[in-house]
Structure 1
Amino acid sequence: MARVKTIKTNFTAGEISPHLLGRGDLTAYQNGAAKLRNVRIFPTGGVTRRSGLRFVSAAPGPGRLVSFEFNTEQVYLLVFTDFQVSVFSGDAKIADLATPWSEGQLAHLTWTQSADTLLLVHPDVPPKRLTRKAALDWTLSDWKFHEKDGRIFQPFYRFADEEITIQPSATTGQVTLTASQDIFEIGHVGTRFRLSDKEVEINSVGGPRTAVATVQETLIGTGAQKDWEEAAFSPVRGYPVCCCFHQDRLVIGGSRDLTNRLWLSKSADLFNFDLGEAEDDEAIEFAILSDQVNAIRAVFSGRHLQVFTSGAEWMVTGDPLTPSAIQLKRQTRVGSPVDRSILPRDVDGATLFVSRSGKELREFLFTDVEQAYQSNDLAVLSGEMLRDPVDQDFHKSERIMYLVNGDGSLALVTVFRPEKVTAWSLTTTDGAFLSIAVVGEDVYTLIDRHGRHSIERFDAELLTDCAYSGTVAEGDDGRRIWNALPWLENWEVDIIADGVVRGRQAVSNGAVTLSDPAFRIESGLPYSHHIEPLPPFLQGASGISQGTAFRLVRATFRMLDTAALSVDTGSGLRSLSFEYFGESRFDQPIRRVTGDRTVRALGWRHGDPKPLWRIEQADPLPCTLLSVLTEISTNG
Structure 2
Amino acid sequence: MSVSLIMTNFSAGELSPRLGGRVDLAKYSNGLATLENMFTHPHGGASRRTGLRFIREVLGRDLMPEGSLGSNAGWTLGDGWSVSAGKAGCDGTQIGESVLGRDLGLVEGKIYEIGFKVSGYLAGSVNVSCGTVTVSEPVISDGTYTFRSKAAASGRISIVADAEFSGALESVFVREVAPKARLIPFEFSTEQAYVLEFTDRNIRIYKNGGIVVDEKGDPVEISSPYTEVDLAAIGFTQSADIMYLVHSEIQPYKLSRTSHVDWTMKLVPFTEPPAEWNSTDGYPSCVTFFEERLCFAASPAKPQTVWMSKSGAYENFGISSPVVDDDACTYTLSADQVNAIRWMVSSKKLIMGTSGGEWWLAGGSSADSVTPNSVVVRRETTHGSAPIPPVVVGGVMLFLQREGRTIRELSYSFEADGYIAPDLTILAEHLTHSNSIAEWAYQQSPDSVIWMVRDDGMLIGLTYQREHEVVGFHKHLTDGKFSSVCTIPGPTQEEVWVVVEREIDGITRKYMERLENRFSSEDTVDAFFVDSGLTYDQDVADTVFTGLDHLEGKTVSVLADGAVRPDVPVKGGSITLASPAKVVHAGLPYISNMKTLRLEGGVMGGGTAQGRKKRISHVTVRLFQSLGLQVGYDGDHLERAPFRTSADKVGGAPSLFSGDYEVKFNRGYDRDGQIHIRQDQPLPMTVLALIPEVSVYS
TM-score of the aligned structures, taking structure 1 as reference length: 0.83
Counterpart for residue 184 of structure 1: none
Deviations for 1:266-306, whole angstroms, at most 9, x for unmatched residues? Answer: 11111112243442211111111211231011011123100
Is the contact between residue 442 and residue 450 of structure 2 (CA under 8 Å) also seen in structure 1? Answer: yes
Counterpart for residue 135 of structure 1: 260
- Give the C-alpha shift of residue 73 in structure 1: 1.5
Counterpart for residue 417 of structure 1: 466
Counterpart for residue 468 of structure 1: 534
1:243 matched to 2:368? The reply is no
Q: Residues 567 and 97 (structure 1 numbering): CA distance in 2 closer, same or farther, change over 3 Å?
A: same
1:459 matched to 2:508? The reply is no
Counterpart for residue 396 of structure 1: 444
Q: Which residue, 582, 589, 609 being the options, matches 2:653? A: 589
Distance 2:655 2:617 in 1: 29
Q: Structure 2 matches for 1:108-507, cutoff 5 A?
A: 108-146=233-271, 153-155=272-274, 231-276=275-320, 277-318=322-363, 319-337=368-386, 341-386=387-432, 387-397=435-445, 398-440=447-489, 441-450=494-503, 451-460=508-517, 461-472=527-538, 474=539, 477-507=540-570
Is the contact between residue 615 and residue 669 of structure 2 (CA under 8 Å) also seen in structure 1? Answer: yes
Counterpart for residue 93 of structure 2: none
Q: Which runs of 5+ in 2 are unaligned?
A: 60-178, 213-219, 518-526
Distance 1:92 1:550 in 2: 53
Distance 2:693 2:328 in 1: 69
Distance 1:101 1:364 in 2: 32
Equivalent pairs, count: 546
1:632 matched to 2:694? The reply is yes
| SS of equivalent residue, structure 1 residue 494 | strand
Distance 2:374 2:297 in 1: 19
Distance 2:338 2:569 in 1: 55
Distance 1:439 1:447 in 2: 18
Is the contact between residue 4 and residue 633 of structure 1 (CA under 8 Å) also seen in structure 2? Answer: yes
Deviations for 1:164-199, whole angstroms, at most 9, x for unmatched residues? Answer: xxxxxxxxxxxxxxxxxxxxxxxxxxxxxxxxxxxx
Q: Residues 575 and 547 (structure 1 numbering): CA distance in 2 closer, same or farther, change over 3 Å?
A: closer
- Give the C-alpha shift of residue 62 in structure 1: 2.1
Counterpart for residue 82 of structure 1: 200
Counterpart for residue 536 of structure 1: 599
Residue identity opposite 2:686 in structure 1: T
Counterpart for residue 31 of structure 1: 30
Deviations for 1:235-288, whole angstroms, at most 9, x for unmatched residues? Answer: 111111110001100111111221111111111111112243442211111111
- Give the C-alpha shift of residue 459 in structure 1: 0.6
- Give the C-alpha shift of residue 502 in structure 1: 1.1
Distance 1:142 1:98 in 2: 12
Is the contact between residue 402 and residue 411 of structure 1 (CA under 8 Å) also seen in structure 2? Answer: yes
Counterpart for residue 138 of structure 2: none
Q: Structure 2 matches for 1:102-113, cutoff 5 A?
A: 102-113=227-238
- Give the C-alpha shift of residue 527 in structure 1: 0.2
Distance 1:18 1:583 in 2: 44
Distance 2:454 2:635 in 1: 34
- Give the C-alpha shift of residue 542 in structure 1: 5.1
Q: Residues 278 and 375 (structure 1 numbering): CA distance in 2 closer, same or farther, change over 3 Å?
A: farther
Is the contact between residue 590 and residue 621 of structure 1 (CA under 8 Å) also seen in structure 2? Answer: no
Counterpart for residue 614 of structure 2: 550
Deviations for 1:400-430, whole angstroms, at most 9, x for unmatched residues? Answer: 0111111111111111111110011001111
| SS of equivalent residue, structure 1 residue 552 | strand
Distance 1:391 1:402 in 2: 8
Residue identity opposite 2:690 in structure 1: V
Q: Residues 248 and 586 (structure 1 numbering): CA distance in 2 closer, same or farther, change over 3 Å?
A: farther
| SS of equivalent residue, structure 1 residue 407 | coil
Distance 2:18 2:483 in 1: 29
Is the contact between residue 643 and residue 654 of structure 2 (CA under 8 Å) also seen in structure 1? Answer: no
- Give the C-alpha shift of residue 103 in structure 1: 1.0
Counterpart for residue 679 of structure 2: 617
Q: Residues 603 and 247 (structure 1 numbering): CA distance in 2 closer, same or farther, change over 3 Å?
A: same
Q: Which runs of 5+ in 1 are unaligned?
A: 147-152, 156-230
- Give the C-alpha shift of residue 385 in structure 1: 2.2
TM-score of the aligned structures, taking structure 2 as reference length: 0.76
- Give the C-alpha shift of residue 327 in structure 1: 0.7
Q: Residues 307 and 131 (structure 1 numbering): CA distance in 2 closer, same or farther, change over 3 Å?
A: same
Residue identity opposite 1:466 in structure 2: S
Residue identity opposite 1:578 in structure 2: P
Distance 1:434 1:570 in 2: 32
Counterpart for residue 576 of structure 2: 513
Distance 2:557 2:668 in 1: 38
Deviations for 1:480-528, whole angstroms, at most 9, x for unmatched residues? Answer: 2111111111111111111121121111111111122221211000000
Distance 1:278 1:378 in 2: 45
Q: Residues 581 and 361 (structure 1 numbering): CA distance in 2 closer, same or farther, change over 3 Å?
A: farther
Deviations for 1:1-29, whole angstroms, at most 9, x for unmatched residues? Answer: x4232100000111000111111011110
| SS of equivalent residue, structure 1 residue 240 | coil
Deviations for 1:303-326, whole angstroms, at most 9, x for unmatched residues? Answer: 310011111100112131122221
Identity %: 32
- Give the C-alpha shift of residue 576 in structure 1: 4.0
| SS of equivalent residue, structure 2 residue 255 | strand
Distance 1:570 1:605 in 2: 14
Is the contact between residue 311 and residue 327 of structure 2 (CA under 8 Å) also seen in structure 1? Answer: yes
- Give the C-alpha shift of residue 588 in structure 1: 3.1
Counterpart for residue 215 of structure 1: none
Residue identity opposite 2:331 in structure 1: F
- Give the C-alpha shift of residue 574 in structure 1: 3.6
Distance 1:98 1:50 in 2: 36
| SS of equivalent residue, structure 2 residue 682 | coil
Counterpart for residue 92 of structure 2: none
Deviations for 1:1-58, whole angstroms, at most 9, x for unmatched residues? Answer: x423210000011100011111101111011100000002110000011010000111
- Give the C-alpha shift of residue 534 in structure 1: 0.6
Q: Residues 371 and 269 (structure 1 numbering): CA distance in 2 closer, same or farther, change over 3 Å?
A: farther
Distance 1:49 1:464 in 2: 11
Distance 1:309 1:517 in 2: 60
| SS of equivalent residue, structure 2 residue 279 | coil
Is the contact between residue 62 and residue 448 of structure 1 (CA under 8 Å) also seen in structure 2? Answer: no
